[in-house]
Amino acid sequence: MHIRMIWFLLTVFLMCGFLGCGQTVLANEFSNWDVLLKMYVAPKTIEGIPLYALNYQALGKDPLYKTVIADLEKASVSVFKTQEEKLAFWINAYNIMAVKMVLDHYPVKSIKDAGGLLSSVWKLNVGTVGGKERTLNEIEHDILRKMGEPRIHVAIVCASLSCPDIRPEAYTPERLHEQLDDQMKAFLANPQKGLQVDESKQRLYLSSIFKWFAEDFEAKGGVRQFLAKYVPERLSAYLKNDTFRMSYLDYNWNLNEVK
């Protein structure tokens, strides 16, 4: 038994030498982020908008926050075996980096204040993920959108009141589809954020997100057909009825912050 244990430890040591054990974290390991979300995300109504909001100051002071950032820096982003693993990782990474952008420039009224006249906040280097400096634009447009999953648009959160709510838990590969479906239903059920209906005028008011990223829904039948699956039957009928014309809600970029 003693010899077998020595052989096992030697094997592990050799594998770590080749694979870099201890230098990377599991790509889908966001347990510390999950803890922070559960501690610092809470229901709130801000400027008349009900949402789950984040206590940025308290989260930024928590020692776990630095651990989360450090884990992302050394994460291996080439080990994903499934679409769900890759999606969950990069959704979490985007949300963490959006929070980091706010905290790096705190206090701000809006995440957009972190940028400037000549430097869009979305194009600024926000931090290191997987050993490479990243921007929020890169994560969203060059990685997540190219994966063909339109539900990402209710999961990634740009730190603003009109954004989809930040979920009080981390995304996981095992529960990803359940989480994304729940996010879509919750977003559309919030008339201040996702969907309003004016029956008398036969008009639908949707989040501007569905205008900005309409092309991402085309392969799934288009925005209206796609969203119809996530609302009650009466609203689904309105979405499928072309006589109900579409308009878009104003977008509030103020910070989704609990104070």
Phi-psi region of 130 (alpha: psi -120 to 50; beta: other; left: phi over 0): left
Judged on CB neighbours under 10 Å (0-12, 13-18, 19+), 107 is exposed
Q: What is the pLDDT of residue 116?
A: 82
Is residue 224 within 8 Å of 239, Cβ to Cβ? yes
Please name which of 251, 51, 47 lies closest in space to residue 165, comparing C-alpha atoms. 51
Q: What is the pTM of this model?
A: 0.89
Tokens found for residue 83: 């679409």
CB atoms within 10 A of CB 101: 25
Judged on CB neighbours under 10 Å (0-12, 13-18, 19+), 129 is buried
Amino acid at 62: D
Q: How far is CA 94 from CA 79, 166, 236, in A?
A: 18, 11, 30
Phi-psi region of 127 (alpha: psi -120 to 50; beta: other; left: phi over 0): left
Domain boundaries, the chain: 21-248
Judged on CB neighbours under 10 Å (0-12, 13-18, 19+), 185 is middle
Each residue's pLDDT expressed in tens, for the chain with a length of 259 residues: 455 544 544 444 444 444 444 334 444 479 999 999 999 999 999 999 999 999 999 999 999 999 999 999 999 998 899 999 999 999 999 999 999 999 999 999 999 999 987 789 999 999 999 999 999 999 999 999 999 999 999 999 999 999 999 999 999 999 999 999 999 999 999 999 999 999 999 999 999 999 999 999 999 999 999 999 999 999 999 999 999 999 999 999 999 999 8
